[in-house]
Amino acid sequence: MKLLRSNSSIIFFLIAFSLASFANAKEPLYKDSSQPVDKRVNDLLKRMTLEEKVAQLQSVWQQRQDLETDDGIFNPEKAKEILGMGVGHLVRPSENKEIKTPNKTPLQTVIFTNALQKWLVDNTRLGIPALFHDEALHGHAGFHSTSFPQAIALGSSWDADLLYEVNRVIAEETRVRGVHQVLSPIMDVARDPRWGRIEETMGEDPYLIAELGVAQVKGLQGDDGKNIPANRVIATLKHLAGHGEPTGGLNIAPTPVGERGLKEIFLPPFEAAVRVGGVRSVMASYNEVDGIPSHSNVELLDSILRKEWSFDGTIVSDYFAIEELMERHHLTDSLGGAARLALTAGVDVETPNIKAYGELARLVNEKKISEKIIDQSVARVLRDKFMLGLFENPYAKVEGIEEFVGNAEHRKLAQLAAEKSIVLLKNEKQLLPLNKNQIQSIALIGPHADETLLGGYSDVPKQTVSILQGLQEYLGEKTLIHFERGTLLTKLHWKPFADSIAANSYSKERWHNDGVVLATSADTKGMIEKAVAAAKKSDIAIVVVGDNEATSREAWAETHLGDRTSLDLLGEQQALVDAVLATGKPTVILLIGGRPLSITKIADTAPAILQGWYLGQETGTAVARVLFGDVNPGGKLPVSVPRSVGHLPVYYNHKPTAKRGYAFDKTDALFPFGFGLSYTQFTYSDLSLNKTKIAANETLEITATITNTGAYAGDEVVQLYVNDPVATVTQPVKLLKGFKRVSLQPKESKKVTFTLSANQLAFYDRQMQYVVEPGVINVMLGSSSADVRLKNQFEITGKTTDVSKAKVYLTPVTVQ
């Protein structure tokens, strides 16, 4: 009996072992969601062939045309040829095969992404899903997605909470289509307004961009640093680094900055987004710094980003940038050489097509690259896919997607964002707000006042509200609106899409046009005269001028330019404004566009000026509510506005020797960084510091009372600046170190307290150590960089201290 029981036990054990082995063979560890991500990554990596690994570092975009029909339906005929080994990224799935055709609807997109994912899961050896990425700078760049104000406008809000909410919605509208990663936010510090991409940035100041950028990252990814929730996406910081000050303002040109300038000006927003925001992806920039292009910069991508900042996510290339190491930078004479430079520098994924990284397997086989380097990058890509939950659920839901994308709640948020982004630059004799009960007729004048301009990286939203439509809906039939364009800027190359016509926005067509055809005097003959006639028979004139998506934009090729040598109004717009002002009618100038303009004459002659930038799909509603006082503008400029191109550079945080003076002209900005008026007035009082002395690693509290002394409720952005008057390395005249947008009712007061760390006063010394030096620090609170209301000082005591391991990135603010 004992022998029988023993034999039975052995048989039972063998059966159980066999069943467990069968289960393990059937369900490998990497498919077990209960296992830690790192274990799943390692298990999957061990099972992969070299060719399967390399496929995870590649992207498919233009080849995707062979994977879908003309109607945007997944076509599996060439899938094995293109995707047989799997793929890392699928690029812009919302696009149709041809750029000159409308994009897929949300439902068409999710059907396509689901079908492609199913093919990968069912037909590749290991069933690794694809990661889909897309653009989402100020709204997912897909058909019917909500289009929020352009990035430079959102920067004008100075409202981190708002940007969190905007990016939460962007993430939700993106993920429901089956897209998992977005190529935003842009963290470039823009220091040259000639650069066409300035509209994509949040301005000229590292601190402002850092705080707003951290909020954007958290809105996109969620607050859980371990996983990406099912309604969030991976954020991608763009563009590391120095991209925002190209030589001559020309896109991708070398950045004329040294190591100290790079580390103190351009890198801090990225570092904050990595260390505080927990961002999962970073995109390298096209430009070079000191002779080293970013895509081959080991010091930047590995020593700083990965080792110093402890970044463990993926680094993706900018589009075509790896092959440009050969074709444009001439660092190598082969694609294989470009691939080796980029991969060894730390670029994990080549976008948007399989080009240089198509050489990786050969390079490994020829022992020119170690497979261990391949494994490191593949592990990062796989980790993202596990964090997104793609192995458990690679598919997006089909139900309700059309109703969700661009829904009414998202539209309300777009309107709020637009209202918070408008900046009041001038308001002589309190012309604004207008009283609709005292106005019987309005002349609305402007080349695009009857259309909604959205800016670059936009698609066609469900609906838009032009300024004309917004005024009509706000005022009703009681007020007569005389609309005239007054002039034209450009002419369209393409026949507009039917959807663009329905949405009353041709932003996509203009932005994608390669050649730009400017309007001629023959095209605009008699238009200024008609505008003047409209102004003369109206009680007030509203003139909308600026740029459009063809006149200032990303210059992504020699055939598609967008950088400018002038910041003046294009074409006949200045003559139009002069002619309307000459009528003597009260006139409001509204600037719509993506860059600061040198409106020196208008600043002198026009009684009221509003800076709108590109305000998104709800432009007209927001503009009407601001013009007539339902909303009190509280935006502040995120960039300094120059008097002319000859005044560049004009950023506020310059060095003490930078502004000796010009013969016959001023050196200051026309409108300074942080500037913005209100329909009410704010006073600052009772500045106090809870300490007069602190040492490195210590903090102090800076408190002031802000009071609304006027008759309108309004928002004031309280700005904290500091200056180190004596240091071993020259310091800027002032630096922004904190801000808070505060809402106040008439006669209401609130106390605002900034908790400033001594470590935020650190800089790179002569040995390039990040140190806090002892000495006096000037503290300034104000309404702009040029409007300081309160001043005080404190002292940093002790010895010079290296705080490179104890950096403080953001300043906590409380309001009572």
Residue 606 and residue 587 in contact, taking contact as beta carbons nearer than 8 Å: yes
Cβ atoms within 10 Å of 425's Cβ, excluding its own? 22
Amino acid at 707: T
Residue 552 and residue 199 in contact, taking contact as beta carbons nearer than 8 Å: yes
In whole angstroms, what is the distance from residue 637 CA to residue 618 CA?
Answer: 20
Cβ atoms within 10 Å of 227's Cβ, excluding its own? 14
DSSP class per residue in 502-565: HHT--HHHHHH-SS-EE--TTTTTTHHHHHHHHHHTSSEEEEEEE--TTTS----BTTB----S
Task: Just list the catalytic residues.
Answer: 318
Residue 354 and residue 59 in contact, taking contact as beta carbons nearer than 8 Å: yes
Question: What's phi and psi for 531, nearest 5 deg?
Answer: -65, -40
DSSP class per residue in 708-758: E-SSS-EEEEEEEEEE-SS-SS---S-EEEEEEEEEE-TT-EEEEEEEEEG
742: tokens are 């505060």
In whole angstroms, what is the distance from residue 756 CA to residue 810 CA?
Answer: 9
Residue 102 and residue 143 in contact, taking contact as beta carbons nearer than 8 Å: yes
Beta bridge partners of 332: none
In whole angstroms, what is the distance from residue 516 CA to residue 491 CA?
Answer: 8
Name the helix (H) or strand (E) containing 470.
helix 467-475
Residue 99 and residue 141 in contact, taking contact as beta carbons nearer than 8 Å: no
Name the helix (H) or strand (E) containing 480.
strand 480-484
Query: By three-state DSSP, how is residue 462 classified?
Result: coil
Ramachandran region, residue 72 (left: φ > 0; alpha: ψ -120 to 50; beta: rest): left
Ramachandran region, residue 697 (left: φ > 0; alpha: ψ -120 to 50; beta: rest): left
Residue 759 and residue 697 in contact, taking contact as beta carbons nearer than 8 Å: yes
In whole angstroms, what is the distance from residue 546 CA to residue 567 CA?
Answer: 10
Q: What would the 3-class secondary structure string for 48-75 be?
A: CCHHHHHHCCCEECHHHHHHECCCCCEC
In whole angstroms, what is the distance from residue 746 CA to residue 690 CA?
Answer: 29
In whole angstroms, what is the distance from residue 482 CA to residue 450 CA?
Answer: 12
Q: Is 70 exposed, middle or buried (0-12, 13-18, 19+ CB in 10 A)?
A: exposed
Name the helix (H) or strand (E) containing 705.
strand 699-708
Buried b (16+ CB within 10 A) or exposed e, 733-748: bbbbbbbbbbebeeee
**Whose CA is closest to 219, among 149, 153, 138, 113?**
138
Cα 34-173-180 angle, rounded to 5 deg? 40
In whole angstroms, what is the distance from residue 41 CA to residue 38 CA?
Answer: 5
**Whose CA is closest to 451, among 514, 508, 405, 401?**
508
Residue 25 and residue 385 in contact, taking contact as beta carbons nearer than 8 Å: no
